[in-house]
Structure 1
Amino acid sequence: MTDVTAAPAASVDLAIGGMTCAACAARVERKLNKLDGVTATVNYATEHATVVLAGPVPVQQLIAQVEGAGYQAREVIRDDAESPPDRVRAWWRRLVVALLAGVPLADLSITLILVPSLRFPGWQWVLLALTVPVVTWCAWPFHQQALRAARHGTGSMDTLVSLGVIAASGWSIYTMFGRSADLHSVGVWGLILQPAGSMYLDVAAGVTIFVLAGRMFEARAKHTAGRALRALAQIGARDVVVLDEDSAERRIPVSGLRRGDRFVVRPGDTIATDGIVETGVCAIDASAMTGESRPAEVAAGDTVAAGTMALGGRLVVRAERVGADTQLAHLVRLVERAQSDKAAVQRLADRIAAVFVPVVLVLAVLTLAGWLLGGAPAERAVSCALAVLIIACPCALGLATPTALLVASGRGAQLGVFIKGHQALESAKAIDTVVLDKTGTLTTGTMSVTAFEVADGVTRTEALAAAAAVENASEHGVGRAIVELARAELGEVGEVEEFRALSGLGVSGRVGGRQVFVGSARLLLAEVGALPPALDAMRERWEAGGNTVVTVAIGGEVGAVIALADGVRPSAGGAVAELRALGLRTVMLTGDNEATARVVAAEAGIDEVIAEVLPAGKASVIARLRPEGRSVAMVGDGINDGPALAAADLGMALVSGTDVAVGACDLILMRTDLSVVPAAVRLARATLRTIRGNLCWAFGYNIAALPLAAAGLLNPLIAGAAMALSSLFVVSNSLRLRRFEQPNSLPQTEDRLRAIVSVVDN
């Protein structure tokens, strides 16, 4: 536990113990938010609180605030190991004892009520002996939480359960020893509609059994729901072989790795941290982290990510980002934050749950008083009041959203879709238009020079050297292709001075004392003048063929025109077709020229093209579409896509893109296969349907059940079973999202993920 003051604008994760329903979560959240500079979100399903600190607040003060509300708290350390599901086993032990005593108790008590002639001397003591261990030791967690809540002047679901068990047991003991002569046969239908006579020992035991079973299955379901995230968090390496200055190898824990260290990756090794390959060639399997089943080959100069696996060859990698700074650690935190997110309707449910327990207690008292004032027998009034206490269940309200998000975010991570929060899901449900960037999104982003033509009086070597020197300072794919060609033909690239990036037009700089411009025809026209007719005709022909064309001006004169090609991703056509099948309009948005854009759009199956748009104009295009009544999703990957991603209703960024793009988006797509785009939309829609179904059930169950219980139409025993099953239904409904499949997903990816999950669970 960290006993220090957190830095301003820091974030702290707390594990919260003792919460048993949504009312508990709402209470803890309310107490934390009373502290100055604290914004807290408490998730009942994950039993975590995410606390954002706007000022210096000691972590111990946060913990004290939670404990002051009657719950336990501890700071979650990032490197904490996953503890075994001890809670499931603890519930199971109590459930076994409750079943061993409760089943014979129910059989015997019902038999003695139905057939009074079978009563024997001391039968009351036999029933009491079977009852005591169930309503004391087995039900102790409920009594303990109820007492803790009472000491703080609050109530929870356990308050209702504890009061119900105590009231049923107390009334039964009074009846057995004080009014045993009044016990009479009620018949089979009476057993269904009401408990046996006015003796409720079977109810006290039955409610304890049902609630224990519900808590056990709920704990197991929560553990299962978080399985995908745990698998993601644990795919990283545990140790690593580093190279000393004299290239001697030594194995150290991965926590000891530092930025700049050189480490060895052998076939079958998991790459320990994000880095750059210094030597070696190897195929890398990233399926465990991204769902991308096709291995990618890396060589010297390429980047590799933590959590991916080397399939063949030996690499020497220089560590660039370590520990919490790696891409894997960032993605795990992203999923955790998403799981703590709440929809507006869930916040309404939390507010209802916070007042639910006192309302139910008042309703139970009114039910008891109403039946007594109406002339009903005392046992009838007690039965109805017990049913009201037992049937009430705010748990389902608290589990409706977080369990669905827990499962969906984990399943999405397996498929390469990282959801930033509930807002992204709501936006994905509403979108009707998908705008796709061209370069690096619809196309591979890896360009190559396909043609090179120089002007009269200029040599190829001169033009290529000048263009490469300027482009070497640029990060654009066009620049990288020209630099690679220069290195292949000339062996080296010269130096540039006074480099400038001209947004959407090209680049400029001084090479060997001469001003050089490399960029679009518009740039050349503005800085030098029109292209010679022969070169201009060639430019038009190349663009009509789908090539990107850049012009080179040297010392105020036209130097050359260069054609470059960027292939359309093989998955683009299928992804666009699936987006259309989902009822979505598709638009391609690019800064490239109209002719080239049309060729790429036709190959991808897109009819609408918006071309020759400067980076600043992309956000304006999104803004223009929205007033037309469109709900727009933007898919991009580069720095110039950042404003458009932020402006869209839903931003989706390919993780191969820049950190700016990733930071501006709502969904992060980890795969180069564009089929992940419609998969993300379908997952978001499926998750929202699940959440709404959960909430409809949770609200509908309580709205229907409480009046029935108050009207005397529910046996308290049946009420207890229904209460436990309501929470189980919500969790089970959310777990269906684990079976969400992406079309054409490859078996080897799923097999790999199942293997990882198996290792984690074992």
Structure 2
Amino acid sequence: MSRPQESAPSSTASMVRSALADSLVKLDPRQLARNPVMFTTAVIAAVSTITGVTTDAGAIGLNLQIALWLWITVLFANFAEAIAEGRGRARADALRAVQGETRAHRLASLDDPTSHDVPSRGLRCGDLVRVDRGELIPGDGEVVQGIASVDESAITGESAPVIRESGSDRSAVTGGTRVVSDSIIVRITADPGDSFVDRMIALVEGAQRQKTPNEIALTVLLIGLSLIFLLVVATLPAWAAYADIRLSVPLLAALLVTLIPTTIGGLLSAIGIAGMDRLVAHNVIARSGRAVEAAGDVDMLLIDKTGTITFGNRRATELLPLSGVSQQQLADAARLASLTDPTPEGKSIVELTTQRKTSSSSLEQGREPVAQSIDFSASTRISGVDLHDGRRIRKGAVSAVLHDCDQTASEELTRLTEKVSRAGGTPLAVALNHRILGIVALTDVVKPNIKARFDELRRMGIRTVMITGDNPLTAAAIAAEAGVDDYLAEASPENKLELIRKAQAEGHLVAMCGDGSNDAPALAQADVGVAMNSGTPAAREAANLVDLDSDPTKLIDIVMVGKQMLISRGALTTFSIANDVAKYFAIVPALFVGTYPALQALNIMQLESPGSAILSAVIFNALIIVALIPLALRGVAYTPAGASQLLARNLSIYGLGGLIAPFIGIKLIDLTINALGLI
């Protein structure tokens, strides 16, 4: 996806101007009510404004200054949220560029070639459309006929076209992308307004961003802390009266605002929006905020081997016939079994065996050899053909072909299978009329940087499990080379589902990625399910995250985004609470030190007067929100570490910083306002 140039001065200035205007709009009580802490602050600001000019003529100047800074505090919190939303709107504007109205060639059925041109917005789920070379795909859908190259740069930002074809796990297409070769027929899978681009626009604009469970829990905590400090402030007038100290309503209101957790209350929404924005920057659509947070807590990753750990372009490299079978016989059988196989592996078998085909091939005798093709099934793990003359050819996983032939492995077959597996290849058995002819060796290559990434996950306390349909020997060889913690070989949909449920029952949070219909049950069961946008509609609907780049390794980046989001919220919460504690011990002694000289030991900052102490604290309270906005938007940097290390870092940096900052900041502000004669 094309990234907006947010760093450009003109763009930044425009975004700031828009955010300032939105800050005023967000003063609407209906919007403020979504943030209880800031709603409380706004109510207190309103009360201070009214009482400040009516109750004490001698202190109107101080009261109005306090009321002004209370309103500024609310506006700064609104500004933090608005600037985060503004970044999302910038991305949304770029996405809307791919949503222009197009004409679609709607078909009555697959058998009827005639078409009727209709507006793309008039298409409904289930409609069939023909998309020719050079045309935009009018809506999200699934290729049901044909194969074509598709330019998805408008969505993914990748310049290289990708292949989309019917009958495979790469059949899904996205509205707004362009067909650059051939012609395909697409079945529309989303009604207008419910496409992936529509959902992404809603997500980045924040229109459908719901509070996550952690946000809700933190909001409850902030409300609880606010109530505690409300009780504290409510008791102060009695002490003040006893000590012959006059505390006006604006002073008490200001004190309450400085003590309640306004810092994290003002930044909480911005942290969440910015976290989602970072996810969108990775071209990932989240169906729920819960999934993003769960990604930060996962401790087990199920990762498919092909295309993730390996490059995914397994190719047939060797034919290993059994005794009594010639190379030519095995080549002919493997070729015929793969003629209708649309997978890259099947195509590579055709390429390899075509090179070895001769005119004397016994299996090629017959005018129309293929009577029926048997498609690959995740449950049977075999494919093949039935010929007109009654011959039956099957290929697939060795154990599956043995089961289909109702045989046990011979010593020679076992030896050949182990030979291929130990070399890190995948052995496919080929059988003719229930007789196994030999092995076709498929080889794949482990990505060179994947081992380092798994090491990084291990340092984060995350266990990695490789999922593959390969036999155990092949799986073990690839797992050892890649550096994963464990593997599941000969995995069926039921095996994946069982593994996830078992891990969850043991208390683990599990994430997995997939792109096929056979992955849908496991994607739905996992705490974090990441589907490839190029995959089947079933996989995309089952997952709670969808990767528009269709890059399976993105799962690792999603985990990092989730962890950074949680750590950012935790760090700023720690800072805010420490801030409030420090302000309490900084201000209260200044209020009562005249009556209770023993408090002088706690009056560290030596503030000029109770009035200047309160005003300085109010000003600091507003300014600290602005100072922390860049950190809330950028997020706290995350480095892999254990929970105890992260806690120690949080306390030492943000806890200690939250304690020290108010003492320094309030004292400097106190000196400034007294030097300027503002009080």
Deviation, structure 1 residue 601: 3.3
1:296 is matched with which residue: 145, 161, 173? 161
> SS of the counterpart of 1:617?
helix
The reply on whether 1:463 has 2:325 as its aligned counterpart is no
| Cα pair distance change 1:213/1:428, threshold 3 Å | closer
The reply on whether 1:442 has 2:304 as its aligned counterpart is no
Deviation, structure 1 residue 480: 6.6
Deviation, structure 1 residue 284: 2.5
Partner residue in 1 for 2:210? 340
Partner residue in 1 for 2:419? 541
1:262 is matched with which residue: 110, 123, 130? 130
| Cα pair distance change 1:228/1:676, threshold 3 Å | farther
Q: Is the 8 A contact 2:139 2:176 kept in 1?
A: no
| Cα pair distance change 1:595/1:348, threshold 3 Å | closer
Partner residue in 2 for 1:695? 573
TM-score w.r.t. length of structure 1: 0.61
Give, in whole Å, the separation in 2 of the partners of 1:652 and 1:459.
43
Deviation, structure 1 residue 691: 0.9
Paired residues for 1:30-45 under 5 Å: none
Q: Is the 8 A contact 2:102 2:120 kept in 1?
A: yes
Give, in whole Å, the separation in 2 of the partners of 1:615 and 1:278.
26
Paired residues for 1:354-433 under 5 Å: 366-376=235-245, 378=246, 380-382=247-249, 384-391=251-258, 396-433=263-300
Give, in whole Å, the separation in 2 of the partners of 1:331 and 1:299.
22
Paired residue type of 1:737 = G
Give, in whole Å, the separation in 2 of the partners of 1:337 and 1:216.
16
The reply on whether 1:737 has 2:635 as its aligned counterpart is yes
Can you give the 5+ residue segments of structure 2 that lack an aligned partner in the other structure? 1-14, 358-363, 592-609, 640-679
Q: Is the 8 A contact 2:335 2:349 kept in 1?
A: no
The reply on whether 1:214 has 2:105 as its aligned counterpart is no
> SS of the counterpart of 1:724?
helix
Note the aligned Cα RMSD (angstroms): 5.1
2:457 is matched with which residue: 572, 576, 579? 579
| Cα pair distance change 1:737/1:338, threshold 3 Å | farther
Partner residue in 1 for 2:219? 350
Paired residue type of 2:272 = L
1:328 is matched with which residue: 180, 197, 211? 197
> SS of the counterpart of 2:211?
coil
1:166 is matched with which residue: 24, 36, 50? 50
Give, in whole Å, the separation in 1 of the partners of 2:22 and 2:198.
32
Deviation, structure 1 residue 400: 4.8
Partner residue in 2 for 1:522? 399
Deviation, structure 1 residue 214: 1.8
> SS of the counterpart of 2:239?
helix
Give, in whole Å, the separation in 2 of the partners of 1:297 and 1:165.
62
| Cα pair distance change 1:734/1:343, threshold 3 Å | farther
Give, in whole Å, the separation in 2 of the partners of 1:484 and 1:355.
69
Deviation, structure 1 residue 434: 3.7
> SS of the counterpart of 2:573?
helix
Give, in whole Å, the separation in 2 of the partners of 1:569 and 1:385.
63
Q: Is the 8 A contact 2:296 2:564 kept in 1?
A: no
Deviation, structure 1 residue 206: 3.5
1:681 is matched with which residue: 543, 559, 564? 559
Paired residue type of 2:68 = G
Q: Is the 8 A contact 2:295 2:563 kept in 1?
A: yes
Deviation, structure 1 residue 365: 5.2
Q: Is the 8 A contact 1:237 1:254 kept in 2?
A: no
| Cα pair distance change 1:435/1:353, threshold 3 Å | closer
2:429 is matched with which residue: 545, 551, 568? 551
Deviation, structure 1 residue 238: 0.9
Number of matched pairs: 573
Once the two structures are superposed, residues 689-708 of structure 1 have per-residue CA deviations (whole angstroms, 9 ceiling, x without a partner) of 11112322344444554676
Paired residues for 1:182-331 under 5 Å: 199-200=61-62, 202-203=64-65, 206-207=68-69, 210-211=72-73, 213-214=75-76, 217-218=79-80, 220-227=82-89, 230-231=92-93, 233-242=95-104, 254-256=120-122, 259-263=127-131, 266=134, 272-274=138-140, 276=143, 284-286=151-153, 289-290=155-156, 293=158, 295-298=160-163, 303=171, 305-306=173-174, 316=183, 318-321=185-188, 323-331=192-200
> SS of the counterpart of 1:546?
coil
| Cα pair distance change 1:163/1:657, threshold 3 Å | same
The reply on whether 1:725 has 2:601 as its aligned counterpart is no
Report % sequence identity: 22
Deviation, structure 1 residue 688: 0.9
Give, in whole Å, the separation in 2 of the partners of 1:383 and 1:297.
65
Of the structure 1 ranges 478-487 and 648-657, higher mean CA displacement relative to structure 2 is found in 478-487
Partner residue in 2 for 1:88? 20
Q: Is the 8 A contact 1:241 1:250 kept in 2?
A: no
Paired residue type of 2:244 = G
Partner residue in 1 for 2:372? 496
Paired residue type of 1:226 = G
> SS of the counterpart of 2:429?
strand
> SS of the counterpart of 1:200?
helix
Q: Is the 8 A contact 2:104 2:138 kept in 1?
A: no
Give, in whole Å, the separation in 1 of the partners of 2:483 and 2:422.
17
| Cα pair distance change 1:162/1:545, threshold 3 Å | same
Of the structure 1 ranges 495-504 and 694-703, higher mean CA displacement relative to structure 2 is found in 495-504
Give, in whole Å, the separation in 1 of the partners of 2:201 and 2:87.
15
Give, in whole Å, the separation in 1 of the partners of 2:335 and 2:558.
44
Once the two structures are superposed, residues 604-647 of structure 1 have per-residue CA deviations (whole angstroms, 9 ceiling, x without a partner) of 34475443444433344456667888765444444444555556
Q: Is the 8 A contact 1:572 1:674 kept in 2?
A: no
Deviation, structure 1 residue 210: 2.5
Q: Is the 8 A contact 1:387 1:714 kept in 2?
A: no
Paired residue type of 1:688 = L
Once the two structures are superposed, residues 77-112 of structure 1 have per-residue CA deviations (whole angstroms, 9 ceiling, x without a partner) of xxxxxx9986733767x9xxxxxxxxxxxxxxxxxx
Paired residue type of 2:20 = V
Give, in whole Å, the separation in 1 of the partners of 2:177 and 2:378.
40
Once the two structures are superposed, residues 727-753 of structure 1 have per-residue CA deviations (whole angstroms, 9 ceiling, x without a partner) of 445644320139999xxxxxxxxxxxx
Paired residues for 1:74-113 under 5 Å: 88-89=20-21
Give, in whole Å, the separation in 2 of the partners of 1:294 and 1:546.
32
Paired residues for 1:602-751 under 5 Å: 602-606=480-484, 608-622=486-500, 633-645=511-523, 650-663=528-541, 665=543, 667-671=545-549, 673=551, 675-705=553-583, 712=591, 713=610, 715=612, 716-725=614-623, 727-728=625-626, 731-737=629-635
Give, in whole Å, the separation in 2 of the partners of 1:319 and 1:541.
43
| Cα pair distance change 1:486/1:406, threshold 3 Å | farther
Give, in whole Å, the separation in 1 of the partners of 2:545 and 2:223.
32
Give, in whole Å, the separation in 1 of the partners of 2:119 and 2:493.
45
